[in-house]
Amino acid sequence: MARLYESRKRILVTGGAGFLGSHLIDRLIDQGHEVLCVDNLFTGTKRNVDHLHDEPRFEFMRHDVTQPLVVEVDEIYNLACPASPIHYQHDPVQTTKTSVHGAINMLGLAKRLKCKIFQASTSEVYGDPNVHPQPEEYWGNVNPIGPRSCYDEGKRCAETLFFDYHRQHALEIKVARIFNTYGPRMHHADGRVVSNFIVQALQGQDITIYGDGSQTRSFCFASDLIEGFLRLMATGTDVTGPVNLGNPGEFTMLELAETVIELTGSKSKLTFMDLPADDPKQRRPDISKAKELLDWTPTIELKEGLTNTIAYFERRLPEIMGR
């Protein structure tokens, strides 16, 4: 990997001790940059960045982005926010505050520093979509008062703030709409489907299918997604996004369960449970814009990514099972 010491930047990553943030930091450190990781460790863990402990270009700061932050950096990636329904519904008011007050503080910081700022937005801004697959032009179908609204509406408001800071204060913004992503360092107990199925299969427990399992999702492997982040951040001032980043391969939850059982060689059976409220029936990104603007397309097939993720959870299984 080419080192960029001549163009070393100081880069702030909020939510850097989380699943995606820690992978992003690995890439930035690898490129020769200095990274300030800001995280309140609500869903993230220091274990995700432990391997950087002796890296002089890495610094960790425990801080909640709903509070003002005064630091000096050249670029900001704003990822701080719990991402899984179990976690973001645990304290919904705090979730909205993290998205909205967090965005205001990070935008205020970017405004003072006159620096570029990236926002980790989400496919949830499309809600339970009436248009399939979802292009960026689609405005979405979101329930404003349901159990997912703290996250969906929080992220929508954050996008509004990013575009108003862009128009009103000429801030350089980069908004990515991330679709379901998986890989090593996912939280094992956050209830997301990939980690649930893998951990259940490895333990020989029943695989929990919500509803009849016919709902679809599209799963992007973490390394592919992070490549998309870096390419979006490297674009010129004319590119603001929003840009969909995700893998257009679409699978039903039944297909996912069968693939996980096959790859783990597990004897687990399927069990069917109630579908959670407002659970989107289908989701697949239209990534034409990312292809055109970033020359980006995911490269890791589902089976390859799952094999890699299964290996991670296998290594962590004794700890997960409390042994």
Out of 66, 205, 208, 308, name the contact with ligand UDP by CB under 6 A.
208
Out of 105, 149, 247, 309, name the contact with ligand UDP by CB under 6 A.
105
Q: Which stretch binds ligand NAD (CB under 6 A): 27-35, 79-87, 106-114, 286-294?
A: 79-87
DSSP per residue, 227-241: HHHHHHHTS-TT---
> Is 225 a binder of ligand UDP (CB under 6 A)?
no
Euclidean distance between CA atoms 67 and 75, whole angstroms: 19
Which of ligand NAD, ligand UDP, none does residue 136 bind to, with CB < 5 to 8 Å depending on kind? none
Euclidean distance between CA atoms 181 and 247, whole angstroms: 8
Q: Which of 91, 148, 89 is nearest to 122 (CA)?
A: 148
| Residue closer to ligand UDP (CB basis): 20 or 209 | 209
> Is 249 a binder of ligand UDP (CB under 6 A)?
no
What residues have CB less than 8 Å from 143, skipping those under 6 apart?
127, 128, 149, 152, 278
Q: Which stretch binds ligand NAD (CB under 6 A): 2-10, 16-24, 236-244, 254-262?
A: 16-24
> Is 98 a binder of ligand NAD (CB under 6 A)?
yes
Out of 10, 27, 111, 166, name the contact with ligand UDP by CB under 6 A.
111
**Catalytic residue (choose from 77, 151, 165, 182):** 151
Euclidean distance between CA atoms 24 and 20, whole angstroms: 6
> Is 146 a binder of ligand UDP (CB under 6 A)?
no
Peptide bond before residue 285 is cis, with ω within 30 degrees of 0: no
> Is 154 a binder of ligand NAD (CB under 6 A)?
no
Token output for 153: 């509406």
Taking the CA of residue 94 as centre, how many other CA atoms within 13 Å lie in the half-sphere pointing to its CB?
A: 14
What's the min distance (Å) between Cβ of 251 and ligand UDP?
A: 10
The pattern of x and - marking residues 38 through 67 that bind ligand NAD according to CB under 6 A reads -xxxxxx-------------------xxx-
Euclidean distance between CA atoms 173 and 80, whole angstroms: 16
Q: Which of 69, 131, 158, 91 is nearest to 282 (CA)?
A: 131
Q: Would residue 151 show up in a list of annotated catalytic residues for this protein?
A: yes
Cβ pair 185, 19 in contact under 8 A: yes
Out of 85, 129, 285, 298, name the contact with ligand UDP by CB under 6 A.
85
> Is 142 a binder of ligand NAD (CB under 6 A)?
no
Q: Which of 296, 282, 279, 280 is nearest to 243 (CA)?
A: 296
Could you report how far apart the first and last alpha carbons of the chain are, in Å? 38
The pattern of x and - marking residues 265 through 284 that bind ligand NAD according to CB under 6 A reads --------------------
User: Backbone dihedral region of 307: left (phi > 0), alpha (psi from -120 to 50 degrees) or beta?
Assistant: alpha
What's the min distance (Å) between Cβ of 212 and ligand NAD?
A: 23
| Residue closer to ligand NAD (CB basis): 83 or 294 | 83
> Is 266 a binder of ligand UDP (CB under 6 A)?
no
* Site for ligand UDP, residues 2 to 61, rule: CB under 6 A: none
* Residues of the shown chain interacting with ligand UDP in the complex, contacts defined by CB under 6 A: 68-70, 84-85, 104-105, 108-109, 111-112, 180, 191-193, 196, 208-210, 215, 217, 253, 275-276, 279
